[in-house]
């Protein structure tokens, strides 16, 4: 794995550009803006209307931005979150400490750094409302059943990582969700939406974040 380098996106927040995958970790139109729109607004907040406890699975911990925004949202709303993040290629603590998310969100960096310092394969409580388990493994290996309320499906794009958008992996994700659970992703490709529908998801095309027409929310409708 070659190192990823820090880039500035249009909302002023950092992202990473991966040399190995030849792509960026977030939209160049704005990393914080994108994560907030797709993962927090279209999933976390919708579920938090009716639930006081949420279990979330993330494909690709990466910069930790989705986990950090979820941690802040959990505290803001008084919702207890159990967060599981899968990451095959973790970034270094040294690189994480250069990311400007806490500064832009006007927070002290301690909690954000803690998310990165927490050891892999160990569940840790970052706050009474937020526990996290980071698993250093390949997302293709997941094996959960009716476990999560939300999946943040944040792999690199299907043309870059087709193996992570395969019917088999999407099916595993479906199984991992509880009935009425949400899978949310920035990806709005027809092939992905057709696969999700074929598995049994109810697929919604929602307005995308700035710079992107659409995003996808797929619901595991209870039968
Ligand atoms: C689009 S980036 C998003 C990262 C993260 N959600 C963030 O906000 O920074 C995709 C992430 O998936 C990770 N990844 C790539 N292939 C993976 C795999 N097979 N299993 C688990 N993680 C993987 C990458 O290292 C990267 O961190």
pLDDT single digits (tens) 171-222? 999 999 999 999 999 999 999 999 999 999 999 999 999 999 999 999 999 7
In a domain? residue 5: no
What pLDDT does 2 receive? 67
Residue 3 falls within a domain, yes or no? no
Q: Does the C-beta of 34 come closer than 6 Å to ligand 1?
A: no
Structure tokens that stand for 138 in this block: 């390949």
**Cβ of 156 below 6 Å from ligand 1:** yes
Using one digit for the tens of pLDDT, what is the confidence trace for 137-171? 999 999 999 999 999 999 999 999 999 999 999 99
Assess whether the C-beta atom of 91 lies below 6 angstroms from ligand 1. Answer: no
Does 207 fall in a domain?
yes
Residue 10 lies in a domain: no
Instruction: Kindly report the protein residue whose alpha carbon is nearest to atom 13 of ligand 1.
Output: 60
* Strand residue runs (E) in the chain: 4-8, 14-18, 23-24, 53-59, 80-86, 124-127, 130-135, 148-153, 177-185, 202-207, 214-219
Please indicate whether residue 85, judged by its CB atom, sits closer than 6 Å to ligand 1: no
pLDDT for 116: 98
Residue 38 Cβ inside 6 Å of ligand 1? The answer reads: no
For ligand 1, say whether the CB of 36 is within 6 Å of any of its atoms: no
Measured between its terminal Cα atoms, the distance across the chain in Å is 43
Is 83 within a domain? yes
Distance CA 171, CA 173 (A): 5
What is the tally of structural domains in the chain?
Answer: 1
Report, as an integer, the average pLDDT of 77-99: 97
| CATH code for the domain in which residue 122 is found | 3.40.50.150
- Which domain does 206 fall in, by range? 30-219
Predicted structure pTM score: 0.98
Residue with the smallest CA separation from ligand 1 atom 25 is: 89
Which of 27, 88, 140, when mutated, tests ligand 1's pocket best, judged by the most ligand atoms within 8 Å of its CB? 88
* CB-ligand 1 contact for 154 (6 Å cutoff): yes
How many whole angstroms separate alpha carbon 73 and alpha carbon 88?
A: 26
Per the domain annotation, does 176 fall within a domain? yes
């Amino acid at each position: 794995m070659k190192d990823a380098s820090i880039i500035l996106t249009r909302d002023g927040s950092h992202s990473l550009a991966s040399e190995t995958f030849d792509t960026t970790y977030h939209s160049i139109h704005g990393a914080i803006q994108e994560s907030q729109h797709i993962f927090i607004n279209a999933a976390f907040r919708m579920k938090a209307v009716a639930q006081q406890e949420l279990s979330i699975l993330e494909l690709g911990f990466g910069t930790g931005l989705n986990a950090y925004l979820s941690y802040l949202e959990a505290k803001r709303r008084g919702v207890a979150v159990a967060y599981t993040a899968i990451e095959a290629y973790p970034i270094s603590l040294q690189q994480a400490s250069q990311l400007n998310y806490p500064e832009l969100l006007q927070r002290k960096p301690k909690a954000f750094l803690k998310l990165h310092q927490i050891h892999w394969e160990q569940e840790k409580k970052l706050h009474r409302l937020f526990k996290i388990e980071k698993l250093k493994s390949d997302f293709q290996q997941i094996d959960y059943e009716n476990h999560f309320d939300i999946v943040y499906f944040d792999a690199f794009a299907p043309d870059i990582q087709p193996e992570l958008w395969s019917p088999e992996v999407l099916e595993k994700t479906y199984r991992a969700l509880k009935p009425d659970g949400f899978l949310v992703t920035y990806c709005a490709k027809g092939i992905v939406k057709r696969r999700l529908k074929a598995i049994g998801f109810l697929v919604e095309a929602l307005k995308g974040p700035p710079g992107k027409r659409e995003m996808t929310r797929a619901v595991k409708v209870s039968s």
